[in-house]
Structure formats: C-alpha cells, structure tokens
Structure 1
Amino acid sequence: MAIRTIVKHPDPVLREKAKEVTKFNENLHKLLDDMVETMYEADGVGLAAPQVGILKRVFVLDCGDGPVEFINPEIIEHRDQQFENHPEGCLSIPGLYGDVRRHLWVKVRAQNRHGETFEFEGVDLTSRCIQHELDHLNGVLFIDIADRVYPAKKEEGE
C-alpha cells in the first residue's frame, strides 16, 4: 500500500466525470488499498478516485464501522433530508466547509473489488459521505451545491 497525493481544487480532474470500472484486477485492488490508506493518513471519512487523479467510478469510506469499497455505485433509494448542524468538508478543498442539503438515508447498489454486486444502506453521516463521494464521481464538488460556504474554524493552538 502507498499514500497517494490528494488532488486539490481547482485541479480540472475534479470536474471530470469518472468512467465505469470494467476490469476487476490487481491494479484495482492496489488502487482501493492505497485509497483507504490515503484516506486514513489524511484523517478523512471518504475518498473518491478522482481525488487521487484517477477517473474511475470508485470511492472508499469509513464512517466508524470500518472501510467499505464502492465500485460503480448508484443510489437506488433515498429518504428524508438532513441539513442543519452537518457542516460538510472535503480533503480536496481544505479550509472550507459548507451547508449542503443531503438525503438522511440512502441505499446504494455497487460492486466490490471482485465485481460482485452488493447493496448498502447509509444513514446520517454515512449517507452524507456516500452522496458526497458519488458527487466526486460526477465532477461535482460540495462548494457547487452548498447553500453556504465558510472557512473552517481553527482549533486552539493552531
């Protein structure tokens, strides 16, 4: 595994639509392993392949229950909306947060690293993370859809 460089806004790769994955091989497995390691190193909860310069429909997340890998994901159901008290940030846009309206609950259909289809349900932070990472695969950034964007508050001692 290796730490990859996270692409920062305004790099144009972040605005491109990622391509469907058709080869489930060792190269994909290495990408997934590297993405998980990179996400943890950056103290993130999610990371999409375009954020490491790879235009593939792949993202990983860990919202507290261990890493989950999503390949060729699509939201197949959603419910309700969450907005207040959920500031959203992005490893590719450090120093900014935004208020983004997201579904409170989503069901996703995706493939795993072996090409097997699975369904996954997310609520609250996990739902927000799924939607945020899926936006990355479509070239959309949270700053594009936020009701409000504002600087991150510095922690004491910084």
Structure 2
Amino acid sequence: MRKSVTEDKSVVADILDKAEVVWLALADDEGPYCVPVNFAVQGDTLFLHSGKKGRKAACLDSGAPLAFSAAVDVRFKTSDENACKLGYRFRSVMGCGVPRLLTGDEKMRALDLLTLKYAGRTMPYNEKYLPVTAAYAIDITSATARIKE
C-alpha cells in the first residue's frame, strides 16, 4: 500500500463526514455507470436516496457490489519549475460496498440522516413524494483514504 494511503477507519470517517458528494460506480447490462449522489454516513454504512425508476435505481435494486469515491480539501498545486510538479492536494476515500433497499422506519431514518446532513436539522416531508422515493443503505465492505499534500 502506498505511504499516502490508509485503511484507518477514523481517517475514512472524517473524510466521508466532510464530503458533500459521493460518486457511485455501478454497472449493468449497458456497461459501467458513474453518478454523483448526496449521501449520509453512519458507521460503516452510506445512506442515499433515489427515484424508484431509472438506471441508478435498477443498479442499486440489483444488490450488485459497487464502488464509491469522495474527495475533500481539493486544492490545485502550482509550480514555476516544470509541468511534472503541477497537480492537486486532496483527501479522498475509495471504497466498495453492497446496496440494499430500505423500507418503513429504516427508509425514514435514512431520509432523516440525509436531511440532517444537508439542512442541519430534520424537517417534514411532502407526503406525495415519499411513495416515489427509494432509500438505500450501502454496507461498506472496504475503504481506504488517500492524503496527498
């Protein structure tokens, strides 16, 4: 493993707590599919929501393993010396997991976690959207963090 990469769960958790978006890498019969999503994290589980129809929902409903990534503190590194010194500083997470559809109280808890993360508080829901909204848990099977400074 590279010296800038760690499996330390506290480092992974810190990055995921600060990340605004997770990129999901999914695959289906059409091939690879990558999509950014809002998410919340609790322990070794990511939570996200989706419409019940569409390619993303179909991939998640399949229960097939997926990959995800997130990055925070992304800053361009300049150099007057040469092009090889240009690049980025960042903290990132790459991981794998298995999605599962949530229903009932678990679905509402996931939606509350998402609302709390992005709005800073729980809020009421428009009841007409709940029947067409799916919530998923992604049980993280592995994750590493990379710190590039």
| TM-score, scaled relative to structure 2 | 0.29
More strand by share: 2
Higher CA-based Rg: 2
Of structures 1 and 2, the one scoring higher in RCO (CA 8 A, sep 6+) is: 2
| TM-score, scaled relative to structure 1 | 0.28
